[in-house]
A and B are shown apart, each in its own frame.
Chain A
Amino acid sequence: MKFTIDWLKDHLDSKLNDEKIIDKLTNIGLEVESFQSQPSELDHFLVAKIVSLEKHPNADRLKVCEVDIGKNENVKVVCGALNAKKNLITVYAPPGAVIPKNQMKLSVSKIRGVTSYGMLCSEAELKLSNESEGIIELSTNKYKSKIGKNYFLNNTPKIIDLSITPNRADCLGVRGIARDLAAAGSGKLRKKNFPKIKSLGQQNLKVKIMNEKYQGCAAFGSYLIKGVKNKESPKWLKDKLLSIGQKPISAIVDITNYVMLDLNRPLHAYDADKIDTEIVVRNSKKGESFDALDNKKYVLEENMCVITDKSGILGLGGIIGGTRSATELGTKNILLESAYFHPKSIRKTSRLLSIDTDAKHRFERGIDPNSIEEGLLVAVELIQKLCGGTISKKDIQINKRFKQRKIIFPITKLQSITGFKVPEKKIRKILDDLGFKVTKKKNVLDLIVPSWRPDIEQEIDIVEEIARIIGYNKIETELPEKVRIKPTLNKQQKLFHFLQRSVASKGYFETVTWSFTDSKINDLFKEDKKEIEIVNPISFDLNVLRSSIFSNLIFYLKKNLERDFKDISMFEIGPIFIGNKPGEQEIVLAGLKSGLASRLNWIEKERKLDVFDSKRDVIQTLHEIGLDPVKININSKTPNYYHPGKSGAIYQNSIDKLPIAYFGEIHPNILHKADLKTDALIVFEIFLDRIKIGEDKLKDLKSKFQYSDFQKSERDFAFVIDKNFEVQELIKIISEVDEDLIKSIRVFDVYEGDNIDKEKKSVALNVTIQSSNKSLTDDDLNYLNKLIISNVENKTGAKLRS
């Protein structure tokens, strides 16, 4: 909503200066977005100083001036004026400026081979006088501190631009704003009397509102004005519109616009001669169409509120008129409409047709239903004054009557919500100034809500009115109390937090990417999950919710590889989506590493990243969050974007159906399809929501400290075993031989090749043995040794390697 202080003062009798008014507006909830003059062509002209000058190399009468225009660097200007001299302060016009005298637009140009950036101006060129000899000479004393400043003061009135919240329909007119300011003590609202109209004869164009379901029009008021002479608006009206940046069109149109901006009362003027017989306001039928004033043709759905005549549609009520009945400069007879359209109907229609107009903006927020007559009278009087003509009697058709809203307001409510007490007298005064009818009854106020405030429905709305007018700065600050109802984080949230930092501490950069992604990339990682499309994506390549975090991580990995990074470690922790309903999502931590584990340097050997690097990161992380390493189980069933032979799935317990994590190398086909050029790419995923963590706190989980001081022994074994036999199982068999004595098992060699059967491998293990209650004798150890060998051989078919 744009207006000027001058316009405001048509309605507000105020002695406050501009700044005070601006502050007040913001403080009562009418946020001032900006308060500034309209940019002017004359803003280009700057005060400038000639710093030095020399003769033009190719022209005797020209000079090349070095000019200070208040910027970091001076500009070069070619000038022919005889009075140009060093230290002269004058007026500079940059390229792009339009010279007032000849309306010539300046550009950077070469004058006899020397480039000139703009020009230095004479008084005549700026239309200040007829003096065209030489450039302007400004007084050094007066202007020396103004180098680089505008030469012309911008005298256009400053425009206040308010951001009006959708509840404040009444402030889409200047008068409504003045009323709020008056209530807040910034002045007095000027009284406005309805103009008296001399009307002659009937309004003989019949208007009818069809009484049908979904009828969007509640009331339709009109005057017929005959014999007008439409013309250009007078200066005061044009200035008014220009002052807020609106283009004047013709008196009739300007008047309707003016009334809308001034009183928030949209009107519509028809050329009455173009109306066929009568006006009928009715629901549209599907497929009807008309040409609107925005030069578009609209094809309508059913039940849109249309203004029609015998020949068809004239316009969409409260939204936009049609070209067929538009007023022109030659228009003689006018039908002026002032109506009330239901916000819901306006909103629905304008959304279906994607139309936004000033009238629509106001009607959908709720126009004062009682302003029909006032708007007509003000406009009709102006039309007659400016364009002549005779005025008919008014005609107001009513389909649905407006009901006043009443609220019983308990006075104590104000203090209970805001925490501060306001004298009752003051409350009554504020409400009265805002237009409420106030009656005191015991501890309550009986209120009748002004018709221009459709947003006020209940007690709490009254609290807000009083609070905002008095000012939120009056509310006393209460110190926060520290009472806690629940622990800050629950177990799952702590897990999230811990995992995030645990993975980052292993050298990964955390990243955050969109929850949506490109369906083409997503397809690589989607597996058999449903594709979840966004109906209205922001762009075609962000058209689905991600089924995997890798859809985005891979994309950004590529970007970083293209930036010449080679060894990249990134992870994201966030949602992936399984369905399009609330809750059909899962929190996943996905990480990747590309390139080499160590790049050639003086102390380490180069090595490509491999599956066991990602396995280390995952397993270490899982241990850190407190999972029991003994229970963790691993198999090789992984999604198809993993390398089929170099990836694994981790289960919290061997009996679990769903894995809690995957790790491995990415499938080479993915690298190929995504065109990723890297030495290696290893990835992992941890599925947070699948990890089972008990409710026990650490203090409950810590078991009794038990240790043994008896001697440890180590024994090495090498078994020749089937190639496909998993070492995980071998270790399990050994540890089960004696869970008390066998403390740990370490694999120290795996060998395939010479001296070993092709279908076999040799696995060498180091077993640590310790008793918690005695020193083991050689016999004990030998016995255990034999037991390990026989168990492994019997259960796996392996043979101890000799």
Chain B
Amino acid sequence: MSDIIKIKEEYLNKLKEISDLKEINQLKSELFGKSGKISNEFKKIGSLNPEERKTISSQLNDAKNELHNLIEKKIKDLEINEINLKLKNERVDVTLPERTFNRGKIHPVSQVIDEISSIFSEIGFSVEEGPDVENEYNNFTALNTPKNHPARDMHDTFYLDKNKKFLLRTHTSPVQVRTMLNGKPPFKIIAPGRTYRSDSDQTHAPMFHQVEGLHIDKNINMGHLKGCLNYFIKEFFEVDKIKMRFRPSHFPFTEPSAEVDIGYELKDGKIIIGEGNKWLEILGCGMVHPNVLKNVKVNPSKYQGYAFGIGIDRLAMLKYGINDLRAFFESDYRWLSHFGFDPLDVPSSYRGLSR
């Protein structure tokens, strides 16, 4: 029996007995160190004749690999054992509270504006905005509500100068005026934003939010208006069916004008949209009045279309069961926390409007 096999047997036996990392490292250097037993055998190969050299060196390599692999495996095993031992003393009470974190919230008005924008984006509308401070022309006159028109009484206006030339816009409709004056038809926009009326009680706040819609092209008619709003309401309330009623009404800037009611019923004090036989008024709309088109330099014999205005806060109240409009603007931390939305809940069509 050659030395090689002897060494191998000897060390395989030693390896079995060892249960300590230090010892195994010691053993490893005895074999493979600079003057280790295996290393020495390799040195001897040079003095052998070619035939012997071949067989011996292959034997030697096999022995080396076998020992080496076993040693490495044993080292790993012992290391893992050691870690496992250590872990026994590393137990914490994971039911203790985590480090503090703060959740932020998005205000319901912002969330609903994003929901609205997402819905209208699907049918090709873009978002326009206008200033909160308007002149009397854009807010009234251009919208076919000249001075001394009784319809001006319908809006309790905040004025910023004695001559009543500058005011806080009473609706988002002046954005229509601005958009059309600054561009060329077709127009297909929505305009969400702050609006102001000097009115204040449980259901009215001096500031509230509206979204304006405007679609002007060559052959847009009331059928399109109905289709658009029907689509919007269904999407917004996330229901399959919606009962809707278009009622003739009057706004100076649209003709024919309509108010839109949706059907609802009360179940356990909660409003269920889309069922029942009660009606709830939710928006005003109509075909843009030819006088308005003329005022914004759009030819009414070529272009026509519809406009609508919806109260955003009211939509939010209906959808999310909020009772008091004034609470929207009072920054009560409890209210914001309760009705606010997670910032990552971005309304979109592919992941749904709301969670």
Point out residues on A near B: beta carbons under 8 Å. 26-29, 31, 165-168, 343-344, 347-348, 364-365, 416-420, 458-461, 463-464, 467-468, 472-473, 475-490, 493, 497, 500-516, 532-538, 542, 545, 552-553, 556, 559-560, 563, 565, 568-570, 574-575, 577, 580-585, 598-599, 601-604
Contact = CB atoms under 8 A, between A and B. Distances in A.
B343 A534 contact: no
Interface string B108-139: 01100010010011111111011111110010
A468 B117 CA distance: 31
List 10 tightest A-B contacts by C-beta distance, closest first: A507-B102, A29-B248, A165-B250, A556-B331, A419-B223, A468-B248, A504-B104, A484-B124, A504-B343, A464-B256
Contact of A488 (B126, B221, B246): B126
Given A509-B340, A537-B158, 12 more contacts: A31-B249, A420-B223, A463-B256, A472-B247, A483-B124, A485-B186, A485-B188, A500-B110, A501-B344, A508-B102, A515-B132, A582-B138
27 contacts: A29-B248, A166-B150, A344-B148, A348-B148, A364-B150, A418-B222, A464-B256, A475-B222, A476-B223, A477-B227, A478-B224, A479-B227, A480-B123, A480-B228, A483-B188, A484-B188, A489-B127, A509-B105, A509-B333, A509-B337, A538-B198, A569-B104, A570-B331, A577-B132, A582-B138, A585-B131, A601-B100
Contacts of A478: 221, 223-224, 226-227
B304 interface: yes
Interface in B131-164: 131-135, 138, 148-151, 153-154, 158-162, 164
Contact of B330 (A468, A532, A556): A556
A460 B255 contact: yes
A482 B250 contact: no
Contacts of B331: 511, 513, 552-553, 556, 559-560, 570
Contacts of B107: 509-512
B295 interface: no
B21 interface: no
Given A419-B223, A538-B200, A542-B206, A533 B133 contact: no
Contacts of A598: 99-100
B152 to A, nearest CB: 9
A418 B221 contact: yes
Contacts of B258: 472
Contacts of A515: 132, 168, 194, 196, 207
Given A29-B250, A419-B223, A477-B230, A602 B97 contact: yes
B106 interface: yes
B309 interface: no
B150 A580 contact: no
Contacts of B268: none
Contact of A504 (B100, B105, B168, B250): B105
A54 to B, nearest CB: 37
A7 to B, nearest CB: 23
* Interface residues of chain A: helix, strand, loop or mixed (majority): loop
Contacts of B336: 509-511, 570
Given A168-B250, A417-B304, A497 B158 contact: no
B256 A485 contact: no
Contacts of A344: 148
Contact of B99 (A482, A513, A604): A604
Nearest to A580: B160
A507 B103 contact: yes
B231 interface: yes
Contacts of B198: 536-538
B289 interface: yes
Interface string B229-252: 011000000000000011111100
B126 A484 contact: yes
B274 interface: no
B200 A568 contact: no
Contacts of A574: 194
Contact of A584 (B133, B231, B250): B133
Nearest to A556: B331
A344 B148 CA distance: 6
A135 to B, nearest CB: 37
Given A167-B250, A534-B160, A585 B133 contact: yes
A418 B123 CA distance: 21
B105 A510 contact: yes
A458 B255 CA distance: 11
B328 interface: yes
Contacts of B290: 458-460
Nearest to A476: B223
Contacts of B223: 418-420, 475-478
Contacts of B106: 500-501, 504, 510
A484 B189 CA distance: 10
B219 interface: yes
Contacts of B206: 514, 516, 538, 542
B207 A580 contact: no
B307 interface: no
